[in-house]
Amino acid sequence: MNKLICTLALAAALAPSMALAEDEVKADEGILIIRVQAHLSSEPASEPRARGLWLKNLKTGKSYGTARDTLLLQVLPEGEYCVEQIELFPRGTGDVFYCGEPYIHVARGKLNNAGEWLFKVDQRFGQLTLEKSLANADVTLAEIKKKYPGYFD
Burial pattern 50-81, b for ≥16 Cβ within 10 A else e, equals: bbbbbbbbeeeeeebbbeebbbbbbbbbbbeb
Task: Write down the pTM of the prediction.
Answer: 0.78
**Arithmetic mean of pLDDT over the chain:** 81
Extents of the domains making up the chain: 4-152
Helix (H, G, I), strand (E, B) or coil at 110: coil
pLDDT-based confidence at 153, cuts 50/70/90? low
Cα separation, 54 vs 118, in Å, equals 14
Q: Of residues 48 and 70, which shows the higher confidence score?
A: 70
For the chain, give the percent of residues with pLDDT over 90.
52
Q: What is the per-residue pLDDT for 91?
A: 60
Give the per-residue pLDDT at 92. 61
- Convert the pLDDT of each residue in 136-146 to its tens digit: 899 999 999 99
The reported pLDDT for the residue numbered 9 is 37
Percent of the chain residues past pLDDT 70, beyond the cut:
82
Fold of 4-152: Immunoglobulin-like (2.60.40)
* pLDDT score recorded for residue 83: 95
Q: What is the pLDDT of residues 18-37, one digit of tens each?
A: 333 334 688 899 999 999 99
What one-character-per-residue DSSP string does 65-77 give?
EESS-SEEEEEEE
